[in-house]
């Protein structure tokens, strides 16, 4: 049987997805692109999934597009890269950002090209101290995709975004954390356990509120304070009617840990 390019396990409400083409640094071929997109679409429909962890097998997280599938020496007309972006990368980024559940990324090694920007599309990014982020695109004559030109200036400011995108130099995990590009860098040996512990904590939390937090923070990138205040009012109204809010307040008053059902 062919090796699975994406491994999926469900544990205590956490769907763990492992990009599994380690000999190609988990770069995306069509099979992996399809599998990753399907996994996030399935996660949206499955109430048993209350958080997702995305990581890579082997020494890398993901080296972006599989360049072996783009060899110009094979002849023929140039590929339509816009088609791949439209068919795979953009839907994947939209599926991760649009998932009403927290997505934790455990960057276990180098994250390059689309791999780096898919990591940044996740909600909470942990990286092994030895991991590096590489906006490799310009090195092969391309432009950052998968949301990179949107994320980088917002997270880092224009100066750092442009330098990373034009120079394609690796950014180490500690610096990425110090610059606010990711949540934190952790010891290599602790990465997977920390990511799972964090995701399990989120999976036992108020899933509806987490979804609303995502929506509010994403909306803030493009709208005025007035519009954002209105959105917060609406989301809070909805949250205030949820069983998880009633449970949270009851647990506070009874001085016990809350038992959130995650119902929305
Ligand atoms: O549809 C479209 O094409 C448009 C969409 C574009 C999205 C993109 O992601 S474009 C950007 C594509 N990615 C890159 O340009 C990154 C290319 N890789 C690298 O620059 C380096 O490999 C890394 C910086 C990621 C890691 O460097 P290093 O020294 O740690 O590892 P390495 O020795 O370069 O790579 C290890 C193996 O993985 C090697 O194979 P080998 O020689 O052991 O058989 C290498 O060829 C392979 N590999 C790494 N990246 C890719 C790859 N194979 C295919 N595609 C890759 N992207």
Residue pLDDT, tens place only, 127-145: 999 999 999 999 999 999 9
Spatial contact of 27 and 64, defined as CB atoms under 8 Å apart: yes
The pLDDT of residue 110 is 98
Terminal Cα distance for the chain, rounded:
39
CA 150 to ligand 1 center in whole angstroms: 23
Query: In the CATH scheme, what is the code of domain 2-203?
Result: 3.90.226.10
CATH architecture of 207-253: Orthogonal Bundle (1.10)
Question: How many Å apart are CA 250 and CA 258, to the nearest integer?
Answer: 8
109-122 average pLDDT score: 98
- CATH 1.10.12 location in the chain: 207-253
Residue pair 215/227 in contact by the 8 Å Cβ criterion: no
Tokens of 103: 């997505």
The answer, yes or no, to whether any atom of ligand 1 lies below 6 A from the CB of 114, is yes
- Which residue's C-alpha comes closest to atom 28 of ligand 1? 110
Q: Model pTM?
A: 0.97
pLDDT at 71: 93
Radius of gyration (C-alpha) of the chain in whole angstroms: 19
Q: Which residues of the chain form CATH 3.90.226.10? A: 2-203
The predicted structure's pLDDT at residue 243? 97
Collapsing DSSP to helix, strand or coil, 125 comes out as strand
Kind of pairing, strands 132-134 and 171-172?
antiparallel
Residues 203/89, Cβ–Cβ less than 8 Å: no
At residue 2, the pLDDT reads 56
Residue 211 has pLDDT above 60, yes or no: yes
Residue 21's nearest CA partner among 40, 1, 3 is 3
Average pLDDT across the chain, whole number: 97
Query: Is residue 77 predicted with pLDDT exceeding 60?
Result: yes
Q: What residue's CA is closest to ligand 1, atom 21?
A: 63
The residue-averaged pLDDT of 169-193 equals 98
pLDDT at 1: 41
Distance 191 CA to ligand 1 centre (A): 23
Point out the ligand 1 atom lying closest to the alpha carbon of residue 140. 15
Mean pLDDT of 72-81: 93
Cα(62) to centroid(ligand 1), Å: 8
Mean pLDDT over 55-73 rounds to 96
- CA 84 to ligand 1: nearest atom: 1
- 5 forms beta bridges with none
Contact 128, 79 (CB under 8 A): no
Whole-number pLDDT of residue 263: 75
Report the length, in residues, of the chain. Answer: 264
What is the average per-residue pLDDT within 144-164?
A: 98
């Amino acid at each position: 049987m062919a090796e699975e390019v994406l491994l999926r396990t469900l544990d205590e409400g956490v769907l763990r997805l492992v990009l599994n083409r380690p000999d190609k640094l988990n770069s995306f071929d069509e099979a992996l692109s399809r599998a990753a997109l399907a996994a996030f679409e399935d996660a949206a429909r499955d109430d048993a999934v209350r958080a997702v962890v995305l990581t890579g097998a082997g020494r890398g997280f993901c080296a972006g597009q599989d360049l072996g599938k783009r060899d110009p020496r094979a002849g023929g007309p140039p590929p339509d890269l816009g088609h791949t972006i439209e068919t795979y990368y953009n839907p994947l980024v939209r599926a991760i950002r649009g998932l009403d559940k927290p997505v934790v990324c455990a960057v276990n090694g180098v994250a390059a090209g689309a791999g780096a920007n898919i990591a940044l599309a996740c909600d909470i990014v942990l990286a092994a101290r030895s991991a590096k982020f590489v906006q490799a695109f310009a090195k092969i004559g391309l432009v950052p995709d998968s949301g990179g030109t949107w994320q980088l200036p917002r997270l880092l400011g224009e100066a750092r975004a442009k330098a990373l995108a034009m120079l394609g130099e690796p950014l180490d995990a500690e610096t990425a954390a110090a610059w606010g590009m990711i949540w934190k860098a952790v010891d290599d040996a602790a990465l997977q356990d920390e990511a799972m512990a964090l995701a399990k904590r989120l999976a036992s939390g108020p899933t509806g509120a987490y979804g609303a937090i995502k929506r509010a923070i994403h909306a803030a990138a493009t709208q005025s304070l007035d519009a954002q205040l209105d959105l917060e009012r609406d989301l809070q109204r909805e949250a205030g009617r949820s069983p998880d809010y009633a449970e949270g307040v009851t647990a506070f008053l009874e001085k016990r840990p809350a038992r959130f059902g995650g119902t929305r």
